[in-house]
Amino acid sequence: MEYASGKREFKRGAFIGSISSAQTTNPIPLELRDALELDYLDKRVISPYEKRNQILLDYAGGLKPLEVPAKLSLDEAAGIFEVWKGVQAFGKKGFPYDEAFLAKYTESSGNARDFVRKGILSSMDA
């Protein structure tokens, strides 16, 4: 938590973490919810008078939210496709790269994981 909160720093590099509200057995702690302004993720109504752990509040104070878009833009997807194409991960001579790119981008609806895993990587045999 010291690295995540910014109390300690790496000489080189950064710390990136993610949280999810999908697992309901361990809800997002109030301190994180407050620090990252994640009220919209939680269906619970929380009173401002509910106790919060001061130590966790101190650590959470240095966290910065990083918004991740729901889907890749066409330019971002093209960049990923070019990287994989550049290392010759798929395709043979005469492979229709433009058609494959548009097909895989459309199939994935811009979802980054699906674009790479179910799109590009599934084309490696082509």
DSSP one-letter code for 119: I
Same-domain check for residues 36 and 98: no
Show the domain range for 12. Answer: 1-68
Q: What is the pLDDT of residue 1?
A: 73
Alpha-carbon torsion, ordered 42, 45, 47, 48, to 10 deg: 40
Q: What is the pLDDT of residue 36?
A: 85
Structure tokens that stand for 118 in this block: 């179910």
Same-domain check for residues 30 and 83: no
CA dist 20 and 28 (Å) reads 8
Same-domain check for residues 81 and 104: yes
Same-domain check for residues 12 and 39: yes
Query: Given 30, 49, 68, which residue is the final one in a domain?
Result: 68
42-57 per-position pLDDT tens digit: 677 778 888 999 998 8
Report how many domains make up the chain.
2
Stated pTM of the model = 0.53
What would you measure as the largest C-alpha separation in the chain, in angstroms? 66
Place of tokens 């966290």: 63
91-123 per-position pLDDT tens digit: 676 677 888 889 889 999 999 989 888 888 876
Same-domain check for residues 57 and 90: no
Would you say residue 5 has pLDDT above 90?
no
Same-domain check for residues 46 and 83: no
